Amino acid sequence: MSIIVQKFGGTSVGSVEKIRNVASRILEEKQRGNDVVAVVSAMGKTTDTLVGLAREISPQPSKREMDMLLSTGEQVTISLLTMALIQAGQDAISYTGWQAGIETESVHSNARITNIHTEKMTSQLQMGKVVIVAGFQGMTPSGDITTLGRGGSDTTAVAIAAALKADRCDIYTDVDGVYTSDPRYIINARKLPSISYDEMLELANLGAGVLHPRAVEFAKNYQIPLEVRSSVEKIEGTYIEEEASMEQNLIVRGVAFEDEITRVTVFGLGNALTGLSSIFTTLAKHHLNVDIIIQSQTDKNATNLSFSIKEQDLQETLAVLEKNKEHLGYTHVEHESALAKVSIVGSGMISNPGVAAEMFQVLAENDIVVKMVSTSEIKVSAVVDEKNMQKAAGVLHTAFNLDASKVEEMSL
Q: What is the DSSP string of 131-165?
A: EEEESSEEE-TTS-EEE--TTHHHHHHHHHHHHTT
Q: Judge whether 238 lies within some domain.
A: no
**Interior angle at CA 18, CA 14 and CA 19, nearest 5:** 90
What single letter denotes the amino acid at residue 335? H
E-state strands within 174-242: 194-196, 226-230, 238-241
63 and 152 assigned to the same domain: yes
Instruction: Report pLDDT for 209.
Output: 78
Nearest residue to 260 (alpha-carbon basis) of 213, 186, 306, 312: 312
163 and 304 assigned to the same domain: no
Helix (H) or strand (E) holding 16, with range, is helix 16-31
146 and 285 assigned to the same domain: no
Q: Judge whether 303 lies within some domain.
A: yes
Number of structural domains (the chain) is 2
Q: Which residues pair with 229 in a beta bridge?
A: 172
Alpha-carbon distances, residue 346 vs 191, 249, 272, 383 (angstroms): 15, 11, 38, 19
266 and 136 assigned to the same domain: no
Stretches where the chain sits below pLDDT 50 are 408-412
256 and 401 assigned to the same domain: yes
Select from 174, 189, 208 the last residue of a domain. Answer: 174
Q: Judge whether 258 lies within some domain.
A: yes
Q: How far apart are CA 162 and CA 169, in angstroms?
A: 9
Helix (H) or strand (E) holding 115, with range, is strand 113-116
Between helix 16-31 and helix 63-87 the angle, nearest 10°, is: 60
Q: How far apart are CA 348 and CA 191, in angstroms?
A: 18
29 and 168 assigned to the same domain: yes
Q: Judge whether 306 lies within some domain.
A: yes
Select from 174, 203, 222 the last residue of a domain. Answer: 174
Instruction: Report pLDDT for 232.
Output: 86
Instruction: Report pLDDT for 146.
Output: 97
User: Phi/psi class of residue 97: alpha, beta or left (left: φ > 0; alpha: ψ in -120 to 50)?
Assistant: alpha
25 and 130 assigned to the same domain: yes
SS3 label, residue 244: coil
Q: How far apart are CA 54 and CA 66, in angstroms?
A: 8
Q: Judge whether 201 lies within some domain.
A: no
Nearest residue to 358 (alpha-carbon basis) of 320, 396, 385: 396
257 and 383 assigned to the same domain: yes
Q: Judge whether 142 lies within some domain.
A: yes
Select from 120, 149, 174 the last residue of a domain. Answer: 174
Identify the burial level of 385 via C-beta atoms within 10 angstroms of its C-beta, where 0-12 means exposed, 13-18 middle and 19 or more buried: middle
Q: Judge whether 180 lies within some domain.
A: no
168 and 271 assigned to the same domain: no
Instruction: Report pLDDT for 404.
Output: 78
Instruction: Report pLDDT for 412.
Output: 39
Task: Read off the CATH number of the domain in which 257 is found.
Answer: 3.30.2130.10
DSSP 348: G
**Interior angle at CA 344, CA 339 and CA 348, nearest 5:** 165
Residues 6+ apart with CB under 8 A from 40: 7, 8, 13, 22, 74, 77, 78, 81, 132, 133, 134, 135, 153
Q: Judge whether 98 lies within some domain.
A: yes
Q: Each residue of 188-224: pLDDT tens digit?
A: 999 999 999 999 999 988 878 788 888 999 899 999 9
162 and 16 assigned to the same domain: yes
15 and 121 assigned to the same domain: yes
Range(s) of the domain holding residue 306 = 245-412
391 and 284 assigned to the same domain: yes
Task: Read off the CATH number of the domain in which 151 is found.
Answer: 3.40.1160.10
